[in-house]
Structure 1
Amino acid sequence: MSKITLFHIDDHPLFSQGVSSLLKGDPQFQWLGEAIDAEYGKRQVAYLQPDIVLLDYFLPDTNGIALGKEISKFSPRSKLVLFTMENSPTVVKQALESRFFGFISKSVEREILIKTLTSVGNGEKIFPQLKDKEIEKNLDLSLFNQLSKREKEIALMVKKGFTSSEIAEKLFISLLTVNTHRRNLIQKLGFKNVAQLSAFLSNVKNH
């Protein structure tokens, strides 16, 4: 079983060293290193392509969420985790909406840290400050906002119960084009069928 590789970006080197010491003894993880500034951190992540990137929120000249957005462009397989003392609901929601996989408070105990990183490494999203329903709602809105204008238009018509033929007629496009968009929507959002797409759209209430 391959280890979960980790890289940490935090402008407090002693804290990074302490975290690495906590994790190096665990056979699940491989600590790839740390950076104290954004530019060096970006170069290292681009080269190392770690499974998980831990980011502090407060960084010189930027913040962890903005930096995470940049990192996701050149290291899309890396799962971003905000690892900070800043735990305001606004910041936590921003991280969730920016496709972060988790939030960890710097005050957590070792066992919680390991459990969270293991879960994130396995593809689970961990935001203990938010309730499950709130996470689902924010994830749905975040995914919806990534769609193109035409995809959103068709998705909302699907939500209203229009058939492919009716959508084609109302948008003045071919039936083939509508069906192609519907298939792309299902694939892009990671669903298996129209029923799952409809369930997803039921949470999208602000559009």
Structure 2
Amino acid sequence: MSKITLFHIDDHLLFSQGVSSLLKGAPHFEWLGEANDPESGKTQVIQIQPDIVLLDYFLPGKNGIELGKEISGFSPRSKLVLLTMEKNHTIIQQAKEAGFYGFIPKSAERDVLLNTLLNVAAGEKIFPQTKVQDIEENPGLSKFKQLSKREKEIALMVVQGFTSVEIAEKLFLSLLTVNTHRRNLIQKLGFKNVAQLSAFLNQIYKY
């Protein structure tokens, strides 16, 4: 039986090396390599056509779901799995809609990681259940849906505790642009300050 080939794209080198160590010693899997930036990762995936591609959500210049869509156009046989800290229903739903086969939180234990990858390789789609009822009943949701893609991305990073400087570095934006987006978020959603915005976003992105 041929082994399941894997490739990992994550800009956190130490984490990627840790995943590599876990999977290299596991039966059924063959580790083909890792990349720390989106373009290098996409190029390598196109060349080697792995069975499964693991992607982080936050990557330099674009998120893992956007990158996954690009990869699927060149390597349709590769099954995409989001391996990330960003555990919220919005990202999980986006991954499903983009054709991903699974979602694994970075906090998952080794057995969960291995079993999920085995099931994905067999053609199953593995996603956690999310609690969306509170979100659907939230009157601010209609306003949130009207935000631009970039505004939603920055909103998520605000919830995760990133500062404006960190957001600017991560998304390759100027600090002025990030601060403008943050002000726009407050105005568009009808809040008076960052505290109200943060409370609302925590409701939107919670499980």
TM-score range, shorter chain: 0.5 to 0.7
Percent of paired sites with the same residue: 72
CA RMSD across the alignment: 1.0
User: Cα distance, 1:129 vs. partner?
Assistant: 3.0
Aligned to 2:60: 60
- Would you say the 8 A contact 1:92–1:129 is kept in 2? no
Aligned to 1:50: 50
Deviations 1:185-206 (A, max 9, x none): xxxxxxxxxxxxxxxxxxxxxx
Q: Which runs of 5+ in 1 are unaligned?
A: 132-207
Aligned to 2:82: 82
Q: How do 1:8-157 residues align onto structure 2 when only pairs under 5 Å count?
A: 8-130=8-130
Q: Tell me which amino acid in the other structure corresponds to 2:117.
A: L
Structure 1: how far apart are the matches of 2:97 and 2:107? 23
Task: Pick the structure with greater CA Rg.
Answer: 1
User: Cα distance, 1:2 vs. partner?
Assistant: 0.6
Moved over 4 A (4+): none
Q: Which runs of 5+ in 2 are unaligned?
A: 132-207
Structure 2: how far apart are the matches of 1:44 and 1:106? 23
User: Cα distance, 1:26 vs. partner?
Assistant: 1.0
Q: Tell me which amino acid in the other structure corresponds to 1:13.
A: L
User: Cα distance, 1:130 vs. partner?
Assistant: 4.2
User: Cα distance, 1:87 vs. partner?
Assistant: 1.2
Structure 2: how far apart are the matches of 1:114 and 1:71? 23
Structure 2: how far apart are the matches of 1:86 and 1:28? 28
Structure 1: how far apart are the matches of 2:46 and 2:129? 30
Higher relative contact order (CA 8 A, sep 6+): 2
